[in-house]
């Protein structure tokens, strides 16, 4: 999700070096991310960390888990793993967009 968007600058250097590094990063074009890398960057379930997080928790709207993990939480009257709001329902999320 953040590939090519997060840049590293050593904050322990002198202020002039840090400023120069930041200025250089701001002037460079962002790194292109391939379609294959975008597929690999799908968010994982925060519970099992192996399945794609393709379900929203209602009412809070966090897209934080897979169907099996979130169903167990909902059936056990547990809370959203992100904000601890009561889970009232789950909604499947489908990716959409333009395919070249």
Fold annotation for 42-92: Herpes Virus-1 (3.30.40)
- The share of the chain scoring above pLDDT 70, in percent, equals 78
Q: Where are the domains of the chain?
A: 1-40, 42-92
| Amino acid 70: pLDDT | 96
Higher per-residue confidence, 25 vs 99: 25
pLDDT digits (tens, 9 = 90+) for 74-94: 999 999 999 999 999 999 998
- The share of the chain scoring above pLDDT 90, in percent, equals 56
Task: State the SS3 of the chain.
Answer: CCCCCCCCCCCCCCHHHHHHHHHHHHHCCCCCCCHHHHHHCCCECCCCCCCECCEEEECCCCEEECHHHHHHHHHCCCECCCCCCECCEEEECCCCCCCC
Query: Residue range 49-74: average pLDDT?
Result: 93
Tell me if the pTM is above 0.85.
Answer: no
């Amino acid at each position: 999700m953040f590939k090519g968007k997060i840049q590293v600058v050593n904050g322990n250097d002198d202020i002039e070096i840090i400023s120069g590094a930041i200025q250089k990063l701001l002037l460079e074009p962002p790194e292109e991310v391939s379609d294959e890398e975008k597929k690999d960057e799908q968010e994982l379930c925060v519970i099992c960390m192996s399945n794609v997080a393709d379900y929203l928790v209602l009412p809070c709207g966090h897209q934080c888990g897979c169907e099996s993990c979130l169903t167990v939480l909902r059936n056990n009257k547990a809370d959203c793993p992100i904000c601890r709001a009561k889970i009232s329902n789950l909604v499947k999320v489908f990716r959409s967009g333009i395919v070249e």
